[in-house]
């Protein structure tokens, strides 16, 4: 997509706007699969929570991806998008047994991450295959907000509770067909992740009828020029060799599974917003846009830095701007950032806006959520309409006073 393509999309669909490049998603999918070309059975389950638009799910499935879901609603979204239930894994956290039972009726793979539910489920449904989520107590990323493998994490069953797991499995006679871990996002050190993988391999030896081992994901993508990223090629080479050795010792060819979200869609996305006002104060020049953290909360929630380009004046002289929103809160996207000179009415493009951006948007300040567009085969396709006032109030019920 060129800047002119982006500007034309804003002209057609309005601002603010999310737009995703299908070719970039395909490239990332192929890159990951090729990194594990030496493994006989590889399965990529896309993390639906990253970007849950059904057109995106359908697109990724066309490449060969299954779906990693964390709620019964995500399961239904995947099914509605045409993904077969056998290509969907359901990995909830802190849900009731009743919700898990709903997933069972839909025919998807169940992944359980706590002892209480494991025992209840095994007692009631011993013949239904179950995957177990292990917490290896290893942080492969550097941000505790997005790391889920540390010792105080609410996710997974502690690796130190393996005797409890085995007791439940033996007592219920339940069928364990997979074992899983997820250390969190932004993997910085491949060797740390490989260390966590050894813990998972050791846990896997306790189960004799496994079909797959799921290593989660968390591959880091670059957010700015010079930013570090996970070397998936090196990682693929090292883990493939170890996985194949494990399968030889296990006596069975297993499937190596991953559940990437950000890696597949983050770099494909751009968030486009119009500059309402350029405001000079005693010490700062603000570029105030027609959006806020109601549309893009990651900079405020995680401190993430999205590269911002003035696509209306890409060759202009650089100046320092603080880019802020129109929400009645502090909603700062960038502090004193070098950006090509901005005028009111210009369109700013936020990079890496494909993952955990639209899906975390809200109607705060009673603002509408933006439209979404998929750039597919050289053309823009509307995949989510911009909200209207009718959308905002359709579920509200006014009482008589």
Residues in the chain: 401
SS percent in the chain: helix, strand, coil, step 5? 35, 25, 40
CA-CA-CA-CA torsion sign (79, 84, 88, 92): positive
The C-alpha atoms of residue 195 and residue 209 are separated, in whole angstroms, by 24
Helix H or strand E segment including 118: helix 115-124
Q: Which two tokens stand for residue 315?
A: 């060759």
Tell me whether strands 318-324 and 285-289 are parallel, antiparallel or unpaired: parallel
Q: Provide the 8-state DSSP code for 141.
A: B
Nearest to 23 by CA among 375, 386, 329: 375
The C-alpha atoms of residue 275 and residue 295 are separated, in whole angstroms, by 15
328 catalytic residue (yes or no): yes
The C-alpha atoms of residue 227 and residue 307 are separated, in whole angstroms, by 11
Torsion region of 57: left, alpha or beta (phi above 0 gives left; psi -120 to 50 gives alpha): alpha
Residue 311 C-alpha from the chain's centroid: 27
Nearest to 285 by CA among 352, 344, 225: 344
What would the DSSP string read from start to end of 176-196?
Answer: EEEEEE--BS-B--HHHHHHH
The C-alpha atoms of residue 106 and residue 278 are separated, in whole angstroms, by 52
Q: CA-CA distances (angstroms) from residue 36 to 161, 240, 254?
A: 31, 6, 14
CA atoms within 13 A on the CB side of 401: 2
In the structure, how many helices (H) and strands (E) does the chain have?
12, 18
The one catalytic residue in 131, 247, 328, 357 is: 328
- So which residues are the catalytic ones? 328
């Amino acid at each position: 997509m060129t800047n002119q393509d982006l500007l034309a999309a804003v002209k057609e669909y309005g601002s603010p706007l999310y737009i995703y490049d299908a070719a970039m998603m395909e490239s990332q999918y192929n890159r990951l699969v090729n990194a594990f070309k030496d493994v006989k059975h590889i399965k990529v389950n896309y993390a639906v929570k990253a970007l849950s638009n059904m057109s995106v799910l359908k697109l990724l499935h066309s490449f060969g991806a299954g779906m990693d879901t964390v709620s019964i609603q995500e399961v239904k979204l995947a099914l509605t998008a045409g993904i077969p239930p056998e290509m969907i894994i359901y990995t909830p956290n802190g849900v009731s047994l009743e919700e898990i039972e709903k997933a069972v009726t839909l025919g998807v793979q169940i992944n359980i991450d706590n002892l209480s539910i494991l025992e209840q489920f095994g007692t009631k449904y011993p013949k239904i295959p179950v995957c177990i989520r292990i917490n290896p107590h290893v942080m492969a990323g550097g941000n505790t907000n997005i790391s889920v493998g540390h010792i105080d994490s609410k996710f997974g069953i502690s690796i130190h509770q393996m005797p409890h797991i085995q007791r439940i499995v033996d007592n219920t006679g339940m069928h364990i067909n997979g074992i899983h871990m997820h250390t969190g996002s932004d993997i910085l050190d491949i060797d740390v992740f490989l260390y966590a993988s050894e813990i998972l391999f050791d846990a896997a030896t306790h189960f004799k009828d496994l079909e797959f081992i799921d290593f989660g994901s968390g591959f880091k993508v670059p957010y700015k020029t010079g930013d570090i990223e996970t070397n998936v090629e090196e990682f693929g080479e090292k883990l493939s060799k170890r996985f194949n050795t494990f399968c030889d010792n296990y006596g069975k060819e297993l499937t190596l599974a991953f559940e990437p979200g950000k890696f597949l869609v983050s770099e494909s996305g751009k968030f486009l917003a119009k500059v309402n006002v350029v405001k000079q104060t005693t010490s700062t020049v603000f570029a105030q846009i027609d959006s806020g953290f109601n549309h893009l909360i990651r900079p405020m929630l995680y401190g993430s830095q999205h590269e911002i380009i003035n696509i209306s004046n890409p060759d202009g002289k650089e100046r320092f701007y603080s880019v802020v929103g129109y929400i009645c809160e502090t909603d700062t996207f960038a502090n004193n950032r070098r950006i090509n000179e901005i005028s009111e009415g210009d369109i700013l493009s936020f990079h890496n806006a494909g993952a955990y951006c639209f899906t975390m948007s809200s109607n705060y300040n009673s603002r509408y959520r933006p439209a979404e567009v998929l750039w597919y085969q050289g053309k823009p396709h509307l995949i989510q309409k911009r909200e209207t006032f009718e959308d905002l109030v359709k579920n509200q019920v006014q009482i008589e006073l």
